[in-house]
Structure 1
Amino acid sequence: MTDLAKTNVPLDAGTDDIVPFSEAVKVWARVAALSFGGPAGQIAVMHRIVVDEKRWVGEHRFLHALNYCMLLPGPEAHQLAIYIGWLLNKTKGGMIAGLLFVLPGFLSILALSYIYVIFGDADAIEGMFFGLKSAVLAVVVQAVFRIGSRALRNNVMVAIAAAAFVAIFFLHVPFPLIIVGAGLVGYFGGRAGLPAFKAGGGHKSGSGKILEDRDSVLGEDIPRHARPNLAWSLKISGALAALWLIPVAALVLVLGWDNVFSKIALFFSQMAIVTFGGAYAVLAYVAQAAVEHYGWLRPGEMLDGLGMAETTPGPLIMVTQFVGFLAGYRDPGSLSPLAAATLGAMLTTWVTFLPSFLWIFAGAPFIEKLRGNTAVGGAMSAITAAVVGVILNLAVWFGLHVLFAEVAPVAVGPLTLDVPVVGSLLLPSLVLTLLAAFAIFRFKLSVITVLAVSAAVGVGWQLVIRGQG
């Protein structure tokens, strides 16, 4: 454990870090290497190391930062790492925390993507992804229950979740409008002091004791670099916006609107702006657009990518890298397919994650002064409730394409719904999904364990089927 007496520094020191930068780099590398299991697991790892073990920040400050990140578009666990890194070691701390959080997952998924396109027709690889798809469906269903049990604390939140599901599944309301609507309802509900919109309680440390801010290295005060400074915010925001948007504009100007790289840059830049509510909510938006609108990949392939992201460290939204990889691979233009795929993966990662640095550096100094604001807390609560409905839509969408070989559109009044063809039920997928769900819900096995076992079962099944053929 860090020695508080040695590490704590005057918060007006201006030039000193709150914790030694070299130690911070080691800790963020450790957090990145252990960040498996989606945003819930990543946030839990960060909490255990930064709050419980190192005692660098207190419980209330950690939750305040998390609430702000949950209100932002993009991956909240990644943004939380940037926020805390910035609090402790200023701009360089936020940069290194954010970069290290993404790097292991990027390299892992890039390697798996090469294997996927080069050896994807091999029986073992095909069987592995067959097993992963069924397990991933069970994991998404678990996410509905896990997030729902935390977010749906009263009937109002249940109603918001139900309205969000109806809006996106039956009425095809755009995802960003659902999130904005929920946020406005929660904001005004919290501002009015309605009990239903009050933020929930905090978490306890591993010892069972709530770690107060005053018990941490950072303490309860706001360090000088974390106080609102409009000039600094405009300067850093301008630099980050230029790094993000100038390459996008250059691609469009040089290659044209219809080029695959221009489409990747524009689509994932738009995603970085409008996708609120965490990784599973983002997946619903990306999956439908990438499969149904752009045709970059098939529904089953989206689940393959999600299986990669679930079994590698880093943000779950790294699955977007796999989408960009396949988009470049299948439309390489004058490049070789693998070169175009690599560029597609790198471009997707750049425009997906760079905005997170912009949101944190631009807003965190002002958000630090809003700890305890009831209107902001109400907006966060309502958005989280709406996300439960969106994730339920994702589970249904995945389930249709994992468990059935055919899905047919059916008109119901003015609506068009995708309905499974009952005769196309894939019995092996159903059995493996049920077994994976039983392992997760009944035996509480970790996601990594269930995915690994399901992949092995899938390989065995595929080899048996091929052997009989």
Structure 2
Amino acid sequence: MARMSSASLHHPGFAELTRVSARIGCLSFGGPAGQIALMHRELVDERRWIEEEEFLQALNLCHLLPGPEAQQLATWIGWKLHGWKGGAVAGMLFVIPGALVMLALSILYGMAADLDWFAAIFMGIKAAVLAIIVQALLRIAGRAIKTPVQRGLAIAAFVALFLFDAPFPLVILAALGIGAVVGRSRPQLLALHPAPASARVSAHPWAATIKAILVWSAIWAAPMAAVFVFLGRDHVLWDIGVFFSQLAVVTFGGAYAVLSYMAQEAVSSFGWLSGGEMADGLGLAETTPGPLIMVTQFVGYLVAFRAPEPFSPIVAGILGAALTTWETFAPCFLWIFAMAPWMDRLQRAPFLKGGLAAVTAAVVGVVANLALWFALHVLFAQVAWIEAGPMRLQFPEPASFQWQPALIAVIAAVLVFALRWSIVRTLAATAACGLLLAWLA
């Protein structure tokens, strides 16, 4: 694609940026790939707000940072055009439409989960999620695995998580460390290419970075301070805020990688949700615009909805959803506003590029673990933990096999892989299958 000249760029007014950002937020279906393609078409090709080279460099920076890369890219574009004000508006409008839809669906789920027809619909959705995760696994593997070292990192991550129940943050940190060393000493082992010799190197913008860290750290912490003052550390909202604040720091590798950690903790450690409910949340998130990581809001809503005191269940659920969304996305603004001025230097850092390549490879193993975890909890009614020396295995009870979701999962696989249906269309079809099987039974 030919690079446009700076003279041909159009600098939008703040009102125009707001209007277009809201439009992108409402149309951003299809996961990160679809969202980034939408922004590229709207902002680079059609409106000519950003140069092609700058867009790609910013996307690379967003891949280096924890959090949803598409939302961070939207924030960076707003920052580039109108500073902090533009970044805040563009980033928030990318999230708000999906957050409102997800909140409405979470409220409906909390109120109707015990109804037979509702359970039948979500049996179909959960089964479709299996095919969707496998599709994501194959897509990520095709992009991330280029060398034997990357393949080894993916296998090691899967073994550590599934066979040894290793903590997700430890797996990601280990991959970062290995990648940093290999990227500096033997970059070819991770299929890294040197930065162009003509790449610009900016000055050290320390003042802007320190200001961003101080301001957005305070914004990030503000709701937790309110929970501490008014409800105390024993309230469930405190637990929600602490957990999702920690999650925001280790969300490297995309939403599916984060889901593996969140499912491990929310289901196995905290006992907040069942494995089937986690699959329901992912199915809902797949149908909404905005980042897939919005599934965190579903978890926050249900946890607070079920332990509402001193509020009513719905009010508590809304507070839990709002707190979860805040703690998930406020750090994204911190990372962008603090690191964007350093973009040119980050492009040339081999240890950062190596760390990212290693984490991306490890994410293949993480998503494989997620796929197997969901398969066990969707296809079997009973799954137990078995200790075997240092290994801690999940083992299903064969007699609890459920043929209905297994059949729908096969149908979903045909729709996704053979007929290439969209995610939303596939989820609608499998939800109808769930209702039909329940009616026949």
Structure 2 equivalent of residue 444 of structure 1: 420
Secondary structure, in 3 states, of the residue corresponding to 2:381?
A: coil
Distance in 2 between residues matched to 1:179 and 1:162, nearest whole Å: 13
Distance in 1 between residues matched to 2:278 and 2:40, nearest whole Å: 30
Matched letter for residue 380 of structure 1: L
Matched letter for residue 117 of structure 1: G
CA contact (8 A) 1:74 1:272 kept: yes
Deviation at 1:252? Answer: 2.8
Structure 2 equivalent of residue 391 of structure 1: 367
CA contact (8 A) 1:67 1:380 kept: no
Q: Does 1:109 align with 2:98?
A: no
Secondary structure, in 3 states, of the residue corresponding to 1:418?
A: strand
CA contact (8 A) 1:190 1:198 kept: no
Change (3 A) 1:91 1:197: same
Distance in 2 between residues matched to 1:342 and 1:61, nearest whole Å: 38
Secondary structure, in 3 states, of the residue corresponding to 1:408?
A: strand
Distance in 2 between residues matched to 1:120 and 1:428, nearest whole Å: 19
Q: Of 62, 72, 79, which residue of structure 2 is paired with 1:69?
A: 62
Q: Does 1:285 align with 2:261?
A: yes
CA contact (8 A) 2:78 2:89 kept: yes
Deviation at 1:372? Answer: 4.1
Distance in 2 between residues matched to 1:152 and 1:393, nearest whole Å: 16
Distance in 2 between residues matched to 1:30 and 1:146, nearest whole Å: 27
Please list the CA deviations of residues 44-80 of structure 1 after superposition, one character each: whole Å capped at 9, or x if unmatched.
Answer: 3223322333333344433322222222222222112
Structure 2 equivalent of residue 204 of structure 1: none
Q: Does 1:341 align with 2:317?
A: yes
TM-score by length of 1: 0.87
Distance in 2 between residues matched to 1:388 and 1:186, nearest whole Å: 15
Q: Of 185, 198, 201, which residue of structure 2 is paired with 1:192?
A: 185
Q: Does 1:42 align with 2:35?
A: yes
Structure 1 equivalent of residue 343 of structure 2: 367
Q: Does 1:305 align with 2:306?
A: no
Secondary structure, in 3 states, of the residue corresponding to 1:416?
A: strand
Residues 122-271 of structure 1 correspond to what in structure 2 (within 5 A)?
A: 122-199=115-192, 228-271=204-247
Matched letter for residue 224 of structure 2: V
Displacement over 6 Å in runs of 4+: 3-7
Structure 2 equivalent of residue 29 of structure 1: 22
Matched letter for residue 167 of structure 1: A
Q: Of 290, 297, 300, which residue of structure 2 is paired with 1:314?
A: 290
**5+ residue gaps in structure 1?**
10-17, 202-219
Change (3 A) 1:261 1:5: closer
Q: Give the aligned CA root-mean-square deviation in angstroms.
A: 2.4
Residues 426-441 of structure 1 correspond to what in structure 2 (within 5 A)?
A: 426-441=402-417
Deviation at 1:200? Answer: 7.2
Distance in 1 between residues matched to 2:75 and 2:372, nearest whole Å: 33
Please list the CA deviations of residues 90-131 of structure 1 after superposition, one character each: whole Å capped at 9, or x if unmatched.
Answer: 212211111001011111011111111222233332222111
Residues 65-104 of structure 1 correspond to what in structure 2 (within 5 A)?
A: 65-104=58-97
CA contact (8 A) 2:146 2:191 kept: no
TM-score by length of 2: 0.93
CA contact (8 A) 2:122 2:280 kept: yes
Relative to structure 2, which stretch is displaced further, 107-116 or 20-29? Answer: 20-29
Matched letter for residue 235 of structure 1: K
Distance in 1 between residues matched to 2:340 and 2:413, nearest whole Å: 39
Deviation at 1:375? Answer: 2.9
Deviation at 1:455? Answer: 1.4
Structure 2 equivalent of residue 354 of structure 1: 330
Percent identical among aligned pairs is 49
Distance in 2 between residues matched to 1:158 and 1:146, nearest whole Å: 14
Distance in 2 between residues matched to 1:393 and 1:200, nearest whole Å: 30
Deviation at 1:4? Answer: 7.5
**5+ residue gaps in structure 2?**
none
